[in-house]
Chains A and B, each alone.
Chain A
Amino acid sequence: MSNVMKEYFLDLDRAAKDPARKVAWCTSVGPAEILRAMGFEVFFPENHGAMLGATRVCMETIPVANAHGYSPEICSYLTSDIGAYIKGITPLTKAFGIEEIPRPDVLVYNTNQCKDVMHWFEYYASEFNAPIFGIHPPTNLPEIKQEYIDDVARQFEALIHFLEPIIGHPMNRENLKTTVALSLEATNLWSEVLNMAQVTPSPMTFFDSTIYMGPIVVLRGTEIAVKYYKDLLGELKEKIQEKHSAVPEENKRIYWDGMPVWGRLRDQSNIFKENKACVVASTYCNSWIFSDFDPEDPLPSMAKAYIKIFINRNDQYKEDYIERMVKDFKIDGVIFMAARTCPNNSNASYNLPRKLKDKGIPTIIIDGDLCDLRCYSDEQSTTLIEAFLETI
């Protein structure tokens, strides 16, 4: 795994330094397939934000962004990342010896997850004087109507026209089919990987999955991601055959809704392990399953897949989805992580935990954040998680 991510970042670094190659920045559930099919190397600032969070370097960089006018209440991926840029640091240096993030030739965002990505990318478009394009799909959808798909497919077409002058030639549509086919294969494998946790005892935890998910975020549309997930799937199947339990003596199975608290992955993993509880499934890791991709109908199928994601749906869809997951993964209780700076990816504020509880599914809300540890209390969270585990 570390080699896959290392090679991805080293190649991005080479691309950024090579005038013959182009780098595009893309949001994590943005149209990466279009960019890859057009020959761009793709950098995902959210992945960089997660690295800043996991290394806790963000605690030095968020205040820098705050001092530059970015509120502590907005996306802490954004504040972590912009603060790091202003400070001139990146976790890529310590991890891979890379001096700086790759300079963009173009930035492409999709507001299917939130509008903060727009502010974030606009900052960099201005800093690097680089062209920027936004996909603005309909949001909070109860159902996926054909008109929504048509709308977003048209926006993807407009994006292709916007990008063609940057690469200097028309897009090869066959490349797009190939890229979408590779993305589909990787995403289906990723789905299979996550479903391995349906087995009791589970061979993996949510905390493992937050690491395993790297390639499906940054390398979908490549052979590398496909190979990585084929290998991982094989390893997990072996673990299941050997009855390997990720949490020894697993006796409770938990669903995690919301973002991970990146700076506390190990601590939280230990809390669950000590209590013989396994977090077997999550909204977050499942967000990179795009089974609607169709290589024969690339743009409409991408449009459908990218507007269909959990975060872009209404509360009834979310409630039904979690209920289904509870059943499929034999879940004993659901933890809602209410991220202070990510209301879009926090589902505890509009009565969803209560509704699930009324259906007999135990729920608990813990306050925290994806990156900003000022919003997270270790003691309070430990007590809440342990008390929750005691009651179910």
Chain B
Amino acid sequence: MAGTEEIYWGVDCGSSEIKVVALDGQGNILLKRKQKTLFPLQDHVRQALAGESGDLSPFQNEGSHDIKEGHKIIATGYGRKYIRFAHDALTEIKAHFIGVQKQCDLKDAYSIIDIGGQDSKVITACNNKVDQFVINRKCAAGTGAYIEELGHRLEVPLKDMTELARGNDKELSLNSFCTVFSGQEVIKTLMNGERIENIIYALYSSVVKRVMEMTAITTDIVIFSGGVLEFHPELVAMFAKKLEENNANITCILSPNAQYCGAIGAAAYGLKPS
């Protein structure tokens, strides 16, 4: 291998977006890329990995699926099994854990709250390994899809939600578990003349409630990862507030590169000494 550059690619193929990260042999992040998850999946994952003409790419030449010597691709996310040119795959649970651990280098036990497009996870890690984890069960309430769907019903762009939620003047809450029934509740609340700010706050609050119901968080450190939390800072603030109510000593941190934690973890998994 002497003289050959080693590059480790992590590709997190989620329900909304494909995230790609490349690490060098020392684990330094060389690049991050993302694009919408579209089909045919192979083509779009390939495109996300290859980037634009002239960019660093794991492929031997344009159009080919052959990987350059020294390059290794590790897949994670819901699409992990459908990426034919990946050398290995791991679940997003392990990938997010490795991604967070690599970037935050925590010695004490901690929990990761990751909200993705179609699932929410709470992972507890200690002694440098995953101790336990839970994923939302039965439905997609408390996930990115939930926020997106209700944002769509309210005609509020996702990027505006945090500012709107911060403008609330009461702590309204949504009762329903179900995305569709929540939509009905939102419409009824709007018809009653409720301010949109209070409704967005209620929507965030509902996500916090759903996730907190999944498991009891017992660690003093909580790391937030995933795209939804990166792009909804007020949601992170609300999570932190709720966690502090239960544990005054808790430290809440938004992971660096939160949306890319899974991809970073996958790439780092490829880098691990075999």
Contacts and interface: CB of A to CB of B under 8 A. Distances in A.
Contact of A384 (B130, B131, B135): B135
A390 B78 contact: no
Contacts of B130: 387, 390-391
Interface in A355-392: 357, 365, 367, 379-380, 383-384, 386-387, 390-391
Given A387-B91, A390-B91, A380 B133 contact: no
A383 B116 CA distance: 14
| Range for the number of chain A residues in contact with chain B | 10 to 19
B133 A391 contact: yes
A367 B214 CA distance: 14
Contacts of B92: 383, 387
Contacts of A379: 78
Given A367-B138, A383-B92, A384-B135, A391 B129 contact: yes
| Range for the number of chain B residues in contact with chain A | 10 to 19
B104 to A, nearest CB: 19
Nearest to A338: B137
B90 A390 contact: yes
B94 interface: yes
B230 interface: no
Contact of A380 (B90, B94, B131, B135): B135
Contacts of A391: 93-94, 129-133
Given A357-B132, A380-B119, A390 B137 contact: no
Nearest to B90: A390
A267 B1 CA distance: 39
Contacts of A384: 135
A384 B214 CA distance: 14
A367 B135 CA distance: 11
B137 A383 contact: no
A322 to B, nearest CB: 18
A367 B91 CA distance: 18
B94 A390 contact: yes
Interface in B88-106: 90-94
Interface string B196-212: 00000000000000000
Contacts of B135: 380, 383-384
A380 B90 CA distance: 14
A383 B138 contact: no
Nearest to B129: A391
A367 B90 contact: no
A304 B142 CA distance: 48
Interface in B59-108: 78, 90-94
Interface in A66-88: none
A386 B119 contact: no
User: Counting chain B CB atoms within 10 Å of each CB, which of A357, A384, A391 scores highest?
Assistant: A391
A365 B130 CA distance: 16
Contact of B93 (A357, A365, A367, A387): A387
A387 B94 contact: yes
Interface of A: 357, 365, 367, 379-380, 383-384, 386-387, 390-391
17 contacts: A357-B132, A365-B137, A367-B138, A379-B78, A380-B137, A383-B78, A383-B93, A384-B135, A386-B91, A387-B93, A387-B94, A387-B133, A390-B130, A391-B93, A391-B94, A391-B131, A391-B132
A-B pairs with the 4 shortest C-beta distances?
A387-B93, A387-B91, A391-B130, A390-B94
